[in-house]
């Protein structure tokens, strides 16, 4: 079963999404309407977070979107990510990104939204089209920043952060190859994941094994190496299909734990890379 398309979700995304629907100071109210917003809340499964439910008095559009997405960020991020995608698509369909439309949201709101979406690893086109950023062709500090975007999403358990768009690699493998390319001019020529990851660890002076008497932080590093190898084994155990980062036999909770683990390991490598580059 294919995963429904989603957008990113963060505090900054919540702020720009609220601005995209805010018409509180406009003489003529823009679409989407309150009923259209509620329909998308319901469709995304986050209606419980709508501050307009049972409030006893009307709540503005911006406050409804901000409150609902904030609730989703705390309680069900995946549903909130779905809502971000649906709201963006609806605003686009209503002419919100078209300057000649009565529903145009404004150049400044769009510019700010595009900047924030890019920081989260998404490209919000001038026409409102939302797509994930491809990492092919990126290198150096630009690739480091892009991978950190995936790390942030992985640490929140975001399903689409496990596989790095445009590379065909999982997050840890892509990060390991980036580390080796930065340090030695190539991304490694070993297809065996533990060997590749071990080379990356050594390249930035991170321990992939531990012995009695070593400093405690080296034991933590070695444990993260073993964790990454275990997650890779879990991912490859039965093969991947239909865009899933893990086999169908892996439960949603197991998948979330694995993705969060990938974020920790990738972050460890990126931090070490930056420290060794100073």
pLDDT of residue 201: 97
**pTM for this model (two decimals):** 0.69
Q: Indicate the burial class of 240 (C-beta count within 10 angstroms; 0-12, 13-18, 19 or more).
A: middle
Nearest-angstrom CA–CA distance, 92 and 200: 43
Q: What is the pLDDT of residue 53?
A: 85
- CA–CA gap between residue 273 and residue 54 (Å, rounded): 51
Average pLDDT, the chain: 88
pLDDT tens digits, one per residue of 2-52? 567 889 999 999 999 999 999 877 777 899 999 999 999 999 999 999 998
pLDDT at 108: 95
**Within the chain, which residues score under 50 in pLDDT?**
1, 238-242
Q: How many residues does the chain have?
A: 278
pLDDT for 113-132, tens place per residue? 999 998 888 889 888 988 88
Query: What does the angle CA 151 – CA 3 – CA 110 come to, to the nearest 5 degrees?
Result: 65
* Euclidean distance between CA atoms 60 and 273, whole angstroms: 46
Buried b vs exposed e over 195-215: b needs ≥16 C-beta within 10 Å? ebbbbbbebbebbbebeeeee
């Amino acid at each position: 079963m294919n995963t429904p398309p989603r957008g990113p979700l963060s505090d900054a995304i919540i702020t720009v999404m609220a601005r995209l629907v805010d018409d509180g100071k406009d003489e003529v109210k823009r679409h989407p309407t309150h009923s259209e917003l509620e329909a998308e809340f319901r469709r995304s499964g986050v209606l419980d977070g709508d501050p307009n439910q049972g409030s006893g008095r009307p709540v503005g559009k911006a406050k409804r979107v901000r409150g609902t997405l904030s609730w989703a960020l705390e309680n069900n991020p995946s549903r909130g990510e779905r809502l971000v995608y649906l709201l963006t698509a609806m605003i686009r369909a209503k002419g919100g990104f078209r300057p000649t439309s009565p529903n145009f949201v404004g150049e400044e709101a769009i510019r700010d939204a595009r900047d924030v979406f890019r920081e989260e690893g998404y490209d919000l086109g001038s026409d409102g089209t939302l797509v994930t950023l491809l990492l092919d062709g990126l290198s150096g500090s630009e690739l480091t920043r892009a991978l950190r975007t995936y790390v942030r999403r992985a640490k929140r358990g975001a399903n689409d952060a496990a596989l790095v768009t445009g590379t065909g690699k999982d997050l840890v493998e892509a990060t390991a190859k980036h580390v080796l390319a930065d340090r030695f001019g190539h991304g490694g020529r070993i297809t065996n994941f533990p060997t590749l990851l071990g080379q990356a660890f050594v390249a930035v002076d991170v321990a992939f094994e531990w012995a009695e008497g070593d400093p405690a932080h080296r034991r933590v590093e070695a444990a993260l190496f073993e964790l990454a190898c275990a997650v890779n084994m879990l991912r490859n155990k039965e093969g991947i299909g239909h865009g899933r980062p893990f086999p169908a036999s892996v439960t949603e909770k197991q998948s979330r734990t694995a993705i969060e683990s990938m974020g920790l390991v990738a972050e460890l490598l990126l931090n070490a890379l930056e420290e060794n580059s100073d």
